[in-house]
Amino acid sequence: MARSDTQMAVRIPPELHAWLKELAVKHDRSMNYLVVKAIKQFKQQMEI
């Protein structure tokens, strides 16, 4: 099954990566889920 989502490589500082990984484990979510959710929230804020 083909995915319609676009892939993108992002460089982030190691400490931010570690924090994101801990958060993902704590909330039983993927790091990708958290990043997409954060970007969607930021998009909503910018459109106000």
Whether residue 48 is predicted with pLDDT greater than 80 in this model: the reply is: yes
The answer to whether residue 6 is domain-embedded is: no
Beta-carbon count within 10 A of 17 CB:
13
pLDDT at 3: 78
> Does the residue 27 lie in any domain?
yes
Burial of 38 (0-12, 13-18, 19+ CB in 10 A): exposed
Separation CA 22–CA 9 (nearest Å): 20
Question: What pLDDT was estimated at residue 2?
Answer: 62
The mean per-residue pLDDT over the stretch 32-40 comes to 97
Domain presence at residue 3: no
Beta strand extents in the chain (DSSP E only): none
The answer on pLDDT for 1 being more than 60 is: no
What mean pLDDT is predicted for residues 29-41? 97
For residue 24, tell me if it sits in a domain. Answer: yes
Is 28 inside any structural domain? yes
- Whether the pLDDT of residue 7 is over 70: the answer is yes
The whole-number pLDDT of residue 13 equals 98
Residue type, 21: K
Domain that holds residue 34: 14-46
User: CA-to-CA distance for 19 and 34, rounded, in angstroms?
Assistant: 11
